[in-house]
Amino acid sequence: MKLKYILPFLFLSIAFTSVAQENPFQTKNSQIEMAGKFKLDEFLSSLSFKLVGSDGKFGIEISLSEEGDHKSCLYKVTRLTSPQQTKSVRGVIYARMMKALPCNYQVKDKKLQSILNDTRLINIRYQLEPDNTISGNIEFQGLQHRKDSTF
């Protein structure tokens, strides 16, 4: 599922601000906001991700809503790139679960709960669409499971 977003180049612009006034990697000076909705395999629950952060520190918030109850967990972003410069022509967001704040989802579907609580790494690959939306792939890597989905 494709959603609109604001081009997330702030991280790279922070990284390369020492280059010049005219930052070749900066296209918009705006707050980072990037999100997507997806489902994992046969599970009915709709999941979403959202990039949060500022000042060079970012997290990916994975959330699901179940019977009016919103559950989420935060993962620390370790790599964030835009499609404009990468060799693969796809942007990347890699994240890992924080040891001090492990995820502890309590959801109705226990199989889904097991997968979510097992997840330690999130890999997102995205590309730009002509209408300024993004589409891509999100991968959940855990000690016991690996799942992926498109968004």
Partner 1 sequence: MFHLLLTILISTKVFAQVASTEQLGTLNTIQNGFATVAECQNEQTEGVNCAGTALDESLKDILNLATTNQCVASNEDLQNTGIDIPNCPEASDSLKGLDHSYPSGGIFSVYTGNNDGFIEDLLTEYLADNPGGRFNLVLPRERQSYLQNNPNLSRLLNNESVNIIQVETMPAVDRWMQDSFEFTSLDGKPAIYQLEHYREERSSFEDRLACQIAKSCNLPYFIPPDMVDPYNSDINSLNSGGNLETMPGGTLYRGIVKSNGFSNYNMPEDTRAPYQTDYQRIQRESLEAAGNKVLDLDTSFLSVGHVDEIINIVKTNRPAPCDYAVILASPEKAFELMEATAARTAPTPEELEQELTQPTKKRISSSFSLIENRPQRDIDCSEVGYYSLAVEGISNRLSPERVEEIYNLHCMDEQSIHSFVESDEYQILKNENLEGYNPGDPSISDVMQENRDALVAELARTTECSNPPIVEAPVFFRGGVSYAPDLVNGVVHPNAQNTSSIIMPRTYFQPFDQYMEKELSSLGVGSSFVHSVGYHILDGQVHCGTNSARICK
Would you count residue 87 as binding partner 1 (CB under 8 A)?
Answer: yes
Would you count residue 148 as binding partner 1 (CB under 8 A)?
Answer: yes
Cα angle, residue 56 at apex, residues 130 and 33 outer, rounded to 5°? 35
d(CA 95, CA 140): 10
Would you count residue 36 as binding partner 1 (CB under 8 A)?
Answer: no
- Which residue's structure tokens are 């990347």? 92
> According to CB under 8 A, which one of 27, 86, 106, 132 is a site residue for partner 1?
86
Q: How far is CA 81 from the centre of its chain?
A: 12
> According to CB under 8 A, which one of 29, 68, 99, 131 is a site residue for partner 1?
99
Cα angle, residue 103 at apex, residues 139 and 135 outer, rounded to 5°? 25
Sites of contact with partner 1 (CB under 8 A): 15-16, 18-20, 24-25, 52-55, 57-59, 61, 74, 76, 78-79, 81, 84-90, 92, 94, 96-101, 120-121, 123, 125, 137, 139, 141-143, 146, 148, 150
